[in-house]
Amino acid sequence: MPAGDLPDRMRGEFARDERVRVTIENDQAEDWDALIAEIGAFRKANPHPVDAAEAVARIRILRDEWK
């Protein structure tokens, strides 16, 4: 969905760029141990969380490189 179609509470910085599309998935885990391991591996690989503004800046840089 276009970021501008998201509810206000979910838009943040993404609403400023209609070319950014957001996919929201609702994936119910059947194997909770695997899900917890996957989350743990992600956090280990990405120890520093990124806020919305930084995420948008990174997306825009990648988008501009692909032009």
Which tens digit of pLDDT belongs to each residue from 5-59? Answer: 666 666 666 656 656 665 656 666 677 788 778 878 877 877 777 777 888 888 8
- Please list, in sequence order, all residues whose beta carbon lies within 8 angstroms of the beta carbon of residue 62, skipping any fewer than 6 positions away: none
Tokens 């970021």 sit on residue: 3
pLDDT score, position 57: 83
pLDDT over threshold 60, residue 1: no
Look at residue 2 in the predicted model and tell me its pLDDT.
Answer: 63
Token couple for 45: 């690989």
Domain range summary for the chain, segments of one domain joined by +? 3-65
Dist CA 25 CA 33 (whole Å): 20
Q: Which residues contact 56 (CB under 8 A, 6 or more apart)?
A: 12, 13, 14, 16, 17, 20
First to last CA, the chain: 21
| Amino acid 33: pLDDT | 81
pLDDT at position 60:
83
